[in-house]
Amino acid sequence: MTKHKQSQGIDRSQTVILLKDLYKSFGELDVLCGVDLEVYKGENVVVLGRSGSGKSVLIKIISGLLMPDSGTVNVLGNDVSKLNSKDLQALRLKIGFSFQGSALYDSMTVRENLEFPLVRNLRNLSAAEIDKAIREVLEAVNLEQTMNQMPSELSGGQRKRIGIARTLILKPEIMLYDEPTAGLDPLTCTDINDLINEVQQRYHTSSIIITHDLTCAKSTGDRVAMLLEGKFLREGTFEEVFNTEDERVKSFFDYNFIQ
């Protein structure tokens, strides 16, 4: 039985991500066709959609990795399109990106993987401060014992957790999760969903969770937005989104086989 998300600690007076009338095409392919979205401080928003619906393009635009053709992207009070490269880099340090494939360096131990973003971005840290930060995030993802292991020695779920830990080590204000449960068994999926909620509570992050996994959406989303044909078709709680006779929404629900 899938647990319902208990929403708390959301500050609706503070908007951390604001997207207005967003358009993005690649040649003849229109991917985003007038997207509007607001994410509040401390909120987990799930963006649901099938493969190829533009979900990943959306989070690349939020992090400034892609620029929209038109529309507004405001992140933590910054108009992303107007930032110079130095300010964009500073903003990206406040955004944690959890990639689908964990994106760990195979030739580095877990400790070295976690140390890398600290040393690269915060050069004035002492060895003791680095050690403390590494231990703290490993404890947060419940994998202290893996510190000296190589990524190849970890399970898929452990790699996913270490990937999230490496993102957390810079204490981001926003977390962007790209298909966090893809390729994992149901039990590990539950662990990752629980971890996403723990990160929200412990680090007071605001998050966008890109997924087509309805169990993940139900477990982690304070709000769910369904992306279809380049626009958000429905938005609200999980129940509000799926309480409809719209065949496009019902077929998505059936496709996921939620009991």
Q: Distance (Å, rounded) from C-alpha 112 to C-alpha 100?
A: 20
Decide if 227 is inside a domain. Answer: yes
Phi, psi torsion values for 14, nearest 5 degrees? -120, 120
Q: Distance (Å, rounded) from C-alpha 200 to C-alpha 187?
A: 20
Q: What angle do CA 129, 134, 137 make, to 5 degrees?
A: 125
Per the structure block, which two tokens stand in for 158? 């452990």
Q: What angle do CA 186, 188, 191 make, to 5 degrees?
A: 115
Decide if 229 is inside a domain. Answer: yes
Decide if 4 is inside a domain. Answer: no
CATH code of the domain in which 90 resides: 3.40.50.300
Q: Percent of the chain at pLDDT above 90?
A: 72
Q: What angle do CA 197, 198, 199 make, to 5 degrees?
A: 90
Decide if 126 is inside a domain. Answer: no
Q: Is 80 exceeded by the pLDDT of residue 152?
A: yes
Residue 215 banded pLDDT, cuts 50, 70, 90 = very high
- Which region holds residue 160: left if phi is over 0, alpha if psi is between -120 and 50, else beta? alpha
| Cα distances (Å, whole numbers) of residue 85 to 65, 81, 82, 150, 185 | 11, 10, 10, 34, 40
Task: Give the model's pLDDT for residue 259.
Answer: 45
Q: Is 90 exceeded by the pLDDT of residue 246?
A: no
Decide if 112 is inside a domain. Answer: no
Residue 49 banded pLDDT, cuts 50, 70, 90 = confident
Residue whose entry in the numeric block shows the structure tokens 């990206």:
92
Q: How many domains does the chain have?
A: 1
Closest CA relative to residue 164, chosen from 185, 128, 187, 188: 188
Task: Give the model's pLDDT for residue 2.
Answer: 57
Q: What angle do CA 33, 35, 36 make, to 5 degrees?
A: 155
Q: Note the pLDDT tens digit of each residue in 110-125.
A: 999 999 999 888 778 8
Q: Give yes or no for a contact between 62 and 208, defined as CB atoms under 8 angstroms apart.
A: yes
pTM for this model (two decimals): 0.90
Task: Give the model's pLDDT for residue 254.
Answer: 74
Decide if 114 is inside a domain. Answer: no
Q: Note the pLDDT tens digit of each residue in 16-40.
A: 999 999 999 999 999 999 999 999 9
Decide if 131 is inside a domain. Answer: no
Decide if 240 is inside a domain. Answer: yes
Sign of the alpha-carbon torsion through 61, 64, 68, 72: positive
Q: Give yes or no for a contact between 89 and 35, defined as CB atoms under 8 angstroms apart.
A: no
Q: What angle do CA 190, 194, 199 make, to 5 degrees?
A: 145
Which domain, by its residues, includes 74? 9-94+174-186+206-259
Mean pLDDT over 225-250 rounds to 90
